[in-house]
């Protein structure tokens, strides 16, 4: 496994990851319903990549995303001083130090 930045070319990987995560039916604050289209997902990834406050990192295992860390600056004033931060890990990889690895 390794950590790398998420790029706009990761549309399919991120959509597969989001789909797997949602299949777990976790109690979350936000749920895609339906999943974004590839076009919408690419636009989101491009916007995050261009935003100086955005930072995505992922862990690849067998060419699949198993954990994701993201931090995004709020895009509009007067909230540009704040950000959203998120960490998610697929169930089979929880308790193995994936989150700790992503944070380092």
Residue found under tokens 């994936």: 98
Q: Show the domain range for 66.
A: 2-103
At 44-61, the pLDDT tens digits run 888 887 776 565 667 777
What pTM, to 2 d.p., does this model score?
A: 0.82
Residue found under tokens 């944070």: 103
CATH number at 20 reads: 3.40.630.30
Q: What is the model's pLDDT at position 50?
A: 77
Q: What is the model's pLDDT at position 52?
A: 61
Burial string for 64-95 (b: 16+ CB within 10 Å, else e) reads ebbbbbbebbeeeeeeeeeeeeeebbbeeeee
């Amino acid at each position: 496994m390794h950590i790398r930045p998420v790029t706009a070319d990761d549309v399919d990987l991120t959509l597969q990851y989001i789909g797997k995560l949602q299949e777990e039916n976790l109690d979350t604050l936000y749920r895609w319903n339906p999943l974004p289209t590839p076009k919408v997902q690419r636009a989101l990834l491009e916007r995050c990549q261009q935003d100086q406050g955005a930072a995505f990192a992922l862990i690849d295992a067998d060419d699949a995303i198993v954990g994701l860390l993201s931090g995004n600056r709020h895009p509009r004033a007067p909230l540009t001083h704040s950000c959203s931060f998120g960490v998610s890990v697929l169930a089979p990889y929880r308790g193995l130090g994936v989150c700790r690895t992503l944070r380092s």
